Amino acid sequence: MKVAWFGHKARKRGNGLVKYSHQITQGLEARGAQVAFFYHVSGRHPEIDASGLMPLRSFSLLDHDLISWPGSLHTIETALVGGEVDVAHVSLSFSNLDFRLPGLCHQLGIPVVATFHAPYDRRRSLWGVVSRLFYRLWAIALARYDAVVIFSKQQQQILSRYGVAAERIHIIPNGVDTAVFRPGPSSYKQELEADILIVYCGRLDPEKNVAVLLEVFRGLPKPAPCKTVVVGNGVEFDRLRQQHEGDGVVFTGLMSDTESVLRILQGGDIFVLPSEVEGLSIAMLEAMACGMATIATDVGADGEALEGAGIIIDPDCLSGQLGLALKLLIESPHLRHALGRKARRRVASRYSLQRNIDQLLGLYEGLLATRRSERESTVQVP
């Protein structure tokens, strides 16, 4: 099977979209699929090589490649036809071409799939209003795709309400490689001279509420040496580091290599994701797979993934509930270990990368079978 993948290769601040593209394309190739990976680069004329990487020139805004360079659609059409592509898959948002790729693929007779990562919030809050408006607008474009991949039943209900046909919506949650992200020995905590290690991993942007986590951590009674490690970069990185570094808090910056992140997660005790809005956090799933007791806000699909396997807190009562949850886990090693085991089992059973790839390949094969049937029916009509 030949798959055209439209996704994300790198960003300065790191991003779950980048990780998603890398995981899925590598997983598809491991199953024998041939993948042409279309992605954007800024400020230079890219050259297409023979490795399956298909760079497209773009304009970058705030570390996002939002606008493809004029002529990109023709470049894509040439590559799709020349590569005899079977299925196209767009990891949204890719660029302004998100709205034009379905038409091009249908013109060429290629089924096209979209994964819709947009965060959402069910509350009557500013984030809730913004996310619902965003979903309503994007539903117009998503309705043109042959299949739409989302992560939870709640997303399915939202998109169905806004006009995306229910039969086109497929719940295929993010997955992580449970053979790589697993409990294991790590000396990282000992190197920091900590008895208990709290970890946050992700972007340091306002909606992630890392400032709240660090303020709560500062005010906690700590019966044993306890430290917090913040992995990631973002618009709040410099401010948070100036305010909190050295007060039991370690900032690593963006870490792109898996081994370094894995070493921290395997050495950690408690993972915290205090976001105001989310889709489904890959970083949280990786921490759960490593056996970390996990605390997360009930936003996006995170609460659904964590239910019964961790501590879910209300983002409207963030400081108070986060403080209580951290105090409970710091003082209760047996509970930490029990929740860590449950978290590992949850990811292994529902959120493994292997399961994700199985479902995607099944979706592709179903679309191709439908397309073949349509062609045969057209041929038989006198």
| Cα–Cα distance list, 119 to 37, 127, 249, 271 (Å) | 24, 9, 28, 20
Whether residue 183 is contained in a domain is answered as no
The percent of residues above 70 in pLDDT, for the chain, comes to: 94
13 and 62 in a common domain: yes
Residue 368 is predicted with a pLDDT of 96
156 and 21 in a common domain: yes
Averaged over 163-181, what is the pLDDT? Answer: 96
Residue 15 is predicted with a pLDDT of 74
Length of the chain: 382
Structure-block tokens of residue 301: 């699909």
Structure-block tokens of residue 227: 């430290």
Q: pLDDT per residue over 256-298, tens digit each? A: 899 999 999 999 999 999 999 999 999 999 999 999 999 999 9
Whether residue 12 is contained in a domain is answered as yes
Residue 64 is predicted with a pLDDT of 61
Q: Is the pLDDT of residue 381 over 60?
A: no
SS3 state at 311: strand
129 and 52 in a common domain: yes
Total count of domains within the chain? 2
Q: Phi, psi (5° rounding) for residue 48?
A: -75, 130
Q: Of 265, 337, 339, whose CA–CA distance to 308 is shortest?
A: 339
d(CA 170, CA 164): 11
Cis peptide before 319, with omega less than 30 degrees from 0? no
Whether residue 268 is contained in a domain is answered as yes
Report how far Cα 138 is from the mean position of its chain's Cα atoms: 18
195 and 136 in a common domain: no
114 and 242 in a common domain: no
Averaged over 54-75, what is the pLDDT? Answer: 80
157 and 37 in a common domain: yes
Q: pLDDT per residue over 316-361, tens digit each? A: 999 999 999 999 999 999 999 999 999 999 999 999 999 999 999 9
d(CA 155, CA 161): 10
335 and 369 in a common domain: no
| Cα–Cα distance list, 279 to 174, 200, 275, 305, 371 (Å) | 10, 17, 10, 11, 31
Which alpha helices (H) appear in the chain, and where do they start and end?
Answer: 16-30, 72-82, 101-107, 126-142, 153-161, 188-191, 210-219, 237-244, 258-267, 282-289, 302-306, 318-331, 333-350, 353-380
Structure-block tokens of residue 149: 């991949």
194 and 101 in a common domain: no
166 and 283 in a common domain: no
146 and 14 in a common domain: yes
Residue 65 is predicted with a pLDDT of 61
Residue 250 is predicted with a pLDDT of 97
Q: Is the pLDDT of residue 149 over 60?
A: yes
Residue 124 is predicted with a pLDDT of 77
The percent of residues above 90 in pLDDT, for the chain, comes to: 77
Structure-block tokens of residue 204: 């340091």
Q: Of 271, 294, 262, whose CA–CA distance to 183 is shortest?
A: 262
258 and 120 in a common domain: no
192 and 122 in a common domain: no
Residue 382 is predicted with a pLDDT of 54
Provide the residue range defining the domain that includes 326.
188-350
The residues near 8 (Cβ < 8 Å, ≥ 6 apart) are: 15, 17, 18, 20, 21, 39, 40, 65, 91, 94
Residue 10 is predicted with a pLDDT of 75
Task: Give CA angle at 293 (287, 294), nearest 5°.
Answer: 65
Q: Is the pLDDT of residue 243 over 60?
A: yes
Q: Give me the sign of the Cα torsion angle 276, 281, 286, 290.
A: positive
The residues near 206 (Cβ < 8 Å, ≥ 6 apart) are: 235, 236, 276
Q: What is the CATH number of the domain that holds 104?
A: 3.40.50.2000
Whether residue 322 is contained in a domain is answered as yes
Whether residue 139 is contained in a domain is answered as yes
Residue 48 is predicted with a pLDDT of 56
At position 348, the amino acid (one-letter code) is: A
Whether residue 239 is contained in a domain is answered as yes
Residue 68 is predicted with a pLDDT of 86
R_g (Cα) of the chain, nearest Å: 22
Whether residue 180 is contained in a domain is answered as no
Whether residue 182 is contained in a domain is answered as no
